[in-house]
Chain A
Amino acid sequence: MSCSGVDLKAYFLGELAAAERTPVETHVRACQSCREELERLNLTRTALLSLEQEEAPQRIAFVSDKVFEPRWWQTIWHSGPVMGFASAGVLSAAILVHAFAAPGEVRVPAATPGTAKIEQRIDREVSARVEAAVAKAIAETEARQDQKIARVLDTAEKRYESQRLADLAAAQQTIAYYEKKMNRWLVAGNDIRPAQ
């Protein structure tokens, strides 16, 4: 087998069946350039796999909502074994009733509401609940946002007030210091009146 007839990359990527791998392996053992090529591919893969897979910054999860949860009859409907037993039970009951009951007058069943109407009602109900849930979520988010803004404003106001008080106290201390200094200077006999 010549080098051109060997799909070395398919072999390297694990895409060959067992029967196809053997001739490639035989060729690679005998061909130095293919051995080197395979080595380079392996090194490339090793380098690529050195790139660490990152964790998602946030878990993805979905919240169950009663609106979308299956009804009890849906659970039964989608369960094969339960449906099997239920069907067998209904069939048995029908056979028994048929065996014992006298044939009576055939009654035409009353018209039932169309499934389209029921579906429309379900759609309306689902839409209303979804809208209500969305509106509630928005209101809660806005309320949280308002609270956060109020807290930030309150903190800033307190910080400003305490800063103002500290500045005021510092100013008072400075004034008192200079008053004392002035008094000491006067007691020492200095006259502050302008010279005649």
Chain B
Amino acid sequence: MIFREVEDRDLIAKARRGHVDAYNVLVSRWEKRVFNYLLRLVSNREDALDVSQDVFLKAYQNLKKLDDPVRFPAWLFRIAHNEAYSLLRKNRPEGELLVEPRTAEASARMYPMELSLAVSSALSRLSEDQREAVLLKVYQGFKFEEMAEILSCPVSTVKSRLYTALDLLKQTLAPVNMGGVQ
């Protein structure tokens, strides 16, 4: 007997025919990644969970519009991006500047918990666009082309945001790590 792992495209095909159970399996494969991406964007656990639920509901309702199942990850994160920015726009009054992030100076030697705090702080110091570029590339492993699709912008813009973000993060985090985290 040949065992074949059920792939996302099989689940998508079934979900498109109205099989909710197949869709639930698909959700279970992606919910952690989507939740963490949203958590870093909206910086609030409850909002991240609410938006995750909206994302998966919207994805289910529009699954038939997905031309190529191979593009599902980028398509799903495109929905997540739109939902997150919709929430951020709603929560931020007109004209308000970006919230100034907490400052946590990184010292040469840090314990893992301190390093996590330093990383969170360094990420929160980036602009939303830069932070999202880092999240999509470093944590989600998307290619530049996919990121451009998710963010609806040219590849050159994606590269510019990501490169600037890396330079800023490097200044804060590389000395920390070079100090030696045990």
Contacts and interface: CB of A to CB of B under 8 A. Distances in A.
User: Which label, helix, strand, loop or mixed, suits the secondary structure of the A interface?
Assistant: loop
For this complex, into which size category does the number of interface residues on chain B fall? 35 or more
B120 interface: yes
B116 to A, nearest CB: 5
A9 interface: yes
Contacts, number: 104
Interface string A44-56: 1111111111111
B127 interface: no
Contacts of B134: 48
B159 to A, nearest CB: 8
User: Which label, helix, strand, loop or mixed, suits the secondary structure of the B interface?
Assistant: helix
A194 to B, nearest CB: 75
B174 A47 contact: yes
A68 B18 contact: yes
A47 B144 CA distance: 22
Interface residues of A, number: 35
B18 A62 contact: no
Interface string B74-96: 00000000000000000000000
B177 A56 contact: no
A133 interface: no
A168 B181 CA distance: 64
Contacts of B42: none
B31 A59 contact: yes
A24 B139 CA distance: 24
A107 B166 CA distance: 76
A15 B144 contact: yes
A64 interface: yes
Contacts of A119: none
A9 B163 contact: yes
Contact of B138 (A15, A48, A74): A48
Given A62-B20, A62-B27, A45 B35 contact: no
B177 A46 contact: yes
Interface in A113-142: none
Contacts of B174: 40-41, 43-44, 47
A121 to B, nearest CB: 20
A74 B173 contact: no
A69 interface: yes
B119 A47 contact: yes
Given A70-B18, A78-B17, A51 B120 contact: yes
B109 interface: no
Contact of B166 (A9, A51, A70): A9
B146 to A, nearest CB: 11
A51 B3 CA distance: 35
A96 interface: no
Contacts of B144: 15
6 cross-chain pairs, A with B, having the tightest CB-CB distances, nearest first = A47-B173, A64-B20, A70-B18, A56-B35, A43-B177, A40-B174
Given A44-B173, A58-B49, 4 more contacts: A44-B166, A49-B138, A52-B116, A64-B21
